[in-house]
Amino acid sequence: MALPEDRIVTFDNVSKFYGETLGVNRVSLSFEPGITSLVGPNGAGKTTLMNLMTGLLRPTRGQVQVLGFRPSDSENMFRRVGYCTQFDYFPKGVTGHDLIYSLLRMHGYGRSEAGSMTHRVIDRVGMSDAADRKVAGYSKGMRQRIKLALAIAHEPRVLVLDEPLNGLDPMARSEVIELFCDLGRAGMHVIISSHILHEVDIISDRIVMMSNGYVVAEGDIQGVRSEMEDHPMQILIRCDRPALVASLVFQQDSVVEARIHKDGQGLLVSTRNPDQFYRLLNRIVLDNQLSIEGIEPADENVHSVYEYLIGGSNGGPIT
Amino acid sequence: MNWQLWSRQVDAVAWVEFKRFWLSRRAIGIYIIALAPNFLMLPLLIRPGRAGMLSTAYAVFFEMFWLRLVIFFGCASIFSQFFRGEILQKTLHYYLLVPVRREIVVLGKYLAAFSGTAMLFSLTTISSYLLYWGRSARGRDFLAGSAGIPELARYVAVVIIACAAYGALFLLLGLLFKNPMLPSMFVLTWESLNYVLPAELQRVSIVHYLRPLLPVILPRGPFVILTEPPSPLVGIPGLMLVTAALLVLAGLVLRRTEITYSAD
Ligand SMILES: Nc1ncnc2c1ncn2[C@@H]1O[C@H](COP(=O)(O)OP(=O)(O)OP(=O)(O)O)[C@@H](O)[C@H]1O
Ligand SMILES: [Mg+2]
């Protein structure tokens, strides 16, 4: 059942380039209420996606809508959206309390209302003791909590959190995760980024897996796992008689596709079993005296991401 | 249109920015520079009578040193920091993540910078003027006479209008340029050599409209291309219009500004 526009966050074929560098490419997504996790290694495009969602960046192509509003409409957006950024910088000399209070005043809240909201949210993230100290003297975890407080202070409906668990000790982690679950159950959109899947998989209603600027898998955790496992690997082979090679590699069941390259000087093979395929290819080359110019994985990243995120028997990667 | 909310928001931004800038260590250098004219007056106090007690002498000091250099560079270094400093310190995003129109952020920051700058430079203009005239009996007579205080009032008005117009310009330059000092030097050259340019180009400057407001208008150098100086009735609204236009432009630029600084 499709939700009305004012209840979802949508990306419609969104691309973002930083000059020549790709940030994200052709992302089409729609987030429903609940907890959604964006997972991917460094440089996957998680922050780019979140900055596009909150108007800190403008898409090169495509369109983003948050609860029916454009991100450039800051007045309407940020009454409903809170963003805990990955930026770990604060205005000089500011205390945790002052930072939150002054930004709430900019929302338009009166003195006493802003004051009580500030106290409430600082209490909620467990920072009451340190609130009147300068942020410059905070530990990483304390800065993280103050940023979180800032994002939830005005009780938004959409909460965007860029690596919110970074720098938190295990106790704080489970407290914060508990908080996210509460918010998610209350019907909020909670969008969390992480580069460790098993850190967020159990709490997420939905996972968006990203790599090198692309969404590589999306759905609930089971769906994502099987999608990643089934994803065949693409290999580009540069050789002189691609049509012959194509006909021969199809002997193998694990080969799902073999396409001649546009320039006629190679072919693109998709296989579920790369090791087996490489052995077959060796035989074909020897039997037919082919001259091979090069063999390279065409989209190795999806597989390396899979290995990185899900593979390995004992948990996630070292970070 | 939600004017009431907007004015509260402008207020909140301006107040926070005012405290953050004017009560910080960054501002100390500005306070020292602003006190410069008073220091320059000190030798006159010790040896009264050396410099003639002429309105022209103060006018030279005011236009060549005070307006051209101190106020100009004061505005350049104050106003351009309000956005550039925020970008360099990677804290601009805080302002872009609240339900506040970006134009309001521009206006709030401008008012914080302008109110402080105008107050500071007005006070030091007044004190330098009083020091200058107050050191001898003849000077005190001039101050007490009918010409003294109105002349001072005009100088203060010029200071305030100059801060308003140059301020808006440098706020914009701070948004546009990584290093606002280079364009500032260009603007300084443009403003100083303006009078040798053709009349049409002279009109594209701030100093062209400021000069006629001065109580004592100094003769120009040998290469002057004479133009009809605009009357204050044109100059003042003209400068206000320019200020407003620069602020609107800054609003548009901030609207298009993206946060591309990295997280580390
Ligand atoms: N300001 C920028 N200028 C140029 N390239 C950028 C900029 N910001 C990001 N990129 C590039 O965009 C891509 C995506 O970066 P992004 O920061 O969105 O990744 P991420 O998933 O958040 O990574 P991380 O886990 O390190 O935070 C990367 O290749 C990065 O180099
Ligand atoms: Mg990131």
| CATH code of the domain containing A15 | 3.40.50.300
- How many residues appear in chain B? 264
Q: Is A46 part of any domain?
A: yes
Span A208-236, mean pLDDT? 80
Nearest to A89 among B90, B99, B255 (CB): B90
Q: How far is CA B62 from the centre of its chain?
A: 13
> Which ligand has its closest atom nearest to the C-alpha of A24?
1
* Residue A243: domain span: 232-298
Strand partners, A267: A237, A260
- Which percentage of chain B shows pLDDT scores above 70? 88
Q: Domain residues of chain B, as ranges?
A: 3-263
- Kindly state whether residues A207 and A248 are assigned to the same domain: no
- Kindly state whether residues A130 and A44 are assigned to the same domain: yes
10 Å Cβ neighbour count for A105? 23
Structure tokens at A216: 């590589």
- Kindly state whether residues A63 and A204 are assigned to the same domain: yes
Going by alpha carbons, the residue nearest to atom 27 of ligand 1 is A42
**Sign of CA pseudo-dihedral A178, A184, A187, A190:** positive
Contact A84, A148 (CB under 8 A): yes
CATH number of the domain that residue A273 is part of? 3.30.70.100
C-beta A18 within 6 A of ligand 1:
yes
- Kindly state whether residues A58 and A15 are assigned to the same domain: yes
How does pLDDT run across A174-221, given as a tens digit for each residue?
A: 888 988 998 888 889 999 999 888 788 888 889 998 888 888 888 887
Tell if the CB–CB gap between A74 and B8 is shorter than 8 Å: no
Residue, of B96 and A175, whose pLDDT is higher: B96
Give the global pTM: 0.83
- Kindly state whether residues A193 and A247 are assigned to the same domain: no
**Closest of A107, A192, A203, A89 to residue A153, by C-alpha:** A107
- Which percentage of chain A shows pLDDT scores above 70? 91
Name the burial class of residue B154, with classes exposed (0-12), middle (13-18) and buried (19+) by CB atoms within 10 angstroms of its CB: middle
- Site to probe by mutation for ligand 1, drawn from A17, A42, A47, A215 as the one with most ligand atoms within 8 Å of Cβ, is A47
Q: How far apart are the first and last CA of chain A?
A: 39
Q: Which of A71-75, A83-87, A269-273 has the lowest mean pLDDT?
A: A269-273
Number of domains composing chain A:
2
Within chain B, strands assigned E span none
Which residue in this structure is represented by tokens 């601009």? B92
- Kindly state whether residues A76 and A136 are assigned to the same domain: yes
Contact A32, A66 (CB under 8 A): no
10 Å Cβ neighbour count for B57? 14
Residue, of B247 and A243, whose pLDDT is higher: B247
Whether B221 has a pLDDT exceeding 60, the answer reads no
Whether B7 has a pLDDT exceeding 60, the answer reads yes
Q: Is A318 part of any domain?
A: no
Q: Which of A23-32, A168-177, B199-208 has the lowest mean pLDDT?
A: B199-208
Q: Is A94 part of any domain?
A: yes
Residue A149: what pLDDT? 94
In angstroms, what separates the C-alpha of B213 from chain A's closest C-alpha?
A: 38
Strand partners, A214: A211
Contacts of A47 in chain B (CB under 8 A): 263
**Using CA atoms, how far apart are residues A95 and A116, in angstroms rounded to an integer?**
16
**Using CA atoms, how far apart are residues B183 and B61, in angstroms rounded to an integer?**
25
Q: Is A319 part of any domain?
A: no
- Kindly state whether residues A158 and A263 are assigned to the same domain: no
**Using CA atoms, how far apart are residues B72 and A41, in angstroms rounded to an integer?**
49
Whether B228 has a pLDDT exceeding 70, the answer reads no
- Kindly state whether residues A166 and A242 are assigned to the same domain: no
Q: How far is CA A120 from the centre of its chain?
A: 30
Span B60-75, mean pLDDT? 82
Q: Is A311 part of any domain?
A: no
Residue A318: what pLDDT? 39
Which residue in this structure is represented by tokens 């495009």? A45
Interface confidence, given as ipTM, is 0.84
Q: Among the three residues A225, A240, A274, which one is the final residue of a domain in this structure?
A: A225
Q: Is A172 part of any domain?
A: yes
Going edge to edge, which strands form the sheet with A9-18? A21-31, A9-18, A61-66
- Kindly state whether residues A156 and A74 are assigned to the same domain: yes
**Closest of A121, A172, A119, A171 to residue A144, by C-alpha:** A172
